[in-house]
Amino acid sequence: MTADSETFSVSFEFFPPKSDEMEGQLWDTVDELALWDPRFVSVTYGAGGSTKAPTINTVRRLVGETSLVTAAHLTCVDATHEETHSVVSEYRAAGIRHIVALRGDPASGVGTEYRPHPQGYANAADLVRGLTELGGFDISVSAYPEKHPESADLGADIEMLKRKADAGAARALTQFFFDNDVFERYLEKVRAAGIPIPIVPGIMPIQNLTQLKRFAGRCGSSVPSFLDARFEGLDDKPEDRAKVAADIAAEQIEDLIRRGLGDFHIYTMNRAPLVSAVLQRLGRRQIRTPRIAAA
C-alpha cells in the first residue's frame, strides 16, 4: 500500500461494554488505537436508551482520562423530548460537544414497525433540529449508500439526509459498504440533491465473515461475492484470515482515496489488532505518544 498517512484522517466507533471482561477489552483497544491519532472517536447508544448508563460512563471516561475528541451517539426512539434532553444535559455536563444524532431502531427489534413517541422527536431530522436549537454541539448523522432497510427507495433516503443537513448536521457517517462503485453513485446522487455536507465512508474490517453476513442483512448492506472468494479455504487459518481481512479494508480505503475521499469512519467492534493492521498497510504513521491524559 502506498497511501500517504497525511492524505486521510480516521475516526473510530466503539460500543459500551456489557461486562467487566468487555470493559477491559475496550480500554485496551482505546489505548492502542489512540496511537493512530483519530480525528474523533464515537460511542454507540442502544435502542430506546438501552445502553444509556454504559454509554454515558464510557464517554465520561474518554473525556476525563484521554485527550481523544469524543462523540456520543443519541437516539430519539421510544423517548420523550424531556428524556432526550436529559441525556443531552448529561452529555454536556460530561464535556461532550459532538453528538451523532440517530433515529434509532425500535426497542422491539430491527424490522419491527417504527412509531414516533407522541411526546418525542419524530425522526432524526427532527432530533437534529432540536439539538441545533439547544446549541453548542457539532452534529453528525447517518447515511446509507444502499438505503436504510425501512426506506421506500434510495430517493426517499436521500431526501431524509437532506432534511438532516438542512436542520444543522455537519457531516454524515455512512453505513458500512464494500462496493466503492455503489458509494460513488450514491455520492453523485447526494450532491445532485443539493446536499453539501461531507459524506464520510464507514469502513468495516471483517472480523468474521459469517457474522458479518447476518449483521449486514439486518442493516441493509450487501456482501459482494468476491469476499467469499477472498476468504475461501481459510476457515481453519486464523492468521491468514486476519491478513486477508486487513488487505480488503486497506484496498477499499486506498481506492476511495484515489477517488478523492479523505475521511474514514472505522467500525472497530472494540478490537484493535485488525484496525491497526489496516492502517499499517496504508502507511499511516502512529504518533510518538498515545493521546491518553496523564494520570
pLDDT at 294: 43
Query: What pLDDT sits at residue 295?
Result: 39
Q: Is position 251 annotated as part of the catalytic site?
A: no
The residue written with cell numbers 453476513 in the block is 213
- Catalytic residue (choose from 13, 32, 90, 188): 13
10-residue mean pLDDT profile of the chain (295 residues): values are 68 95 96 96 84 92 96 92 94 97 73 71 95 97 92 92 98 97 98 98 96 88 94 93 97 98 98 98 85 49
CA separation for the pair 107, 222 (Å, rounded): 24
Fold that domain 5-281 belongs to in CATH: TIM Barrel (3.20.20)
Which pLDDT belongs to residue 106? 65
- The per-residue pLDDT for range 82-109, each reduced to its tens digit, is 999 999 999 999 999 999 999 887 665 5
Q: What is the distance of C-alpha 257 from the center of its chain?
A: 19
Q: How many CA atoms lie within 13 A of 66 on its CB side?
A: 26
Q: What pLDDT is recorded for position 231?
A: 95
Q: Assess contact for 8 and 262: CB atoms under 8 A.
A: yes
Contact 51, 44 (CB under 8 A): yes
CA angle 172, 147, 263 (to 5 degrees): 30
Its sign, for the CA torsion 91, 92, 93, 94, is: positive
For the entire predicted model, the pTM comes to: 0.93
Collect all residues with Cβ–Cβ distance below 8 Å to 204 and sequence separation of at least 6: 176, 178, 212, 249, 266, 267
Can you say how many angstroms the Cα of residue 125 is from the centroid of all Cα atoms in its chain?
A: 18
**pLDDT at residue 241, rounded to an integer:** 95
Residue 49 vs residues 15, 78, 107, 124, 265: alpha-carbon distances, Å: 13, 8, 9, 15, 23
Q: Which three cell numbers stand for residue 6?
A: 497525511
Pair 166, 239: CB distance under 8 Å: no
Domain residue spans in the chain? 5-281
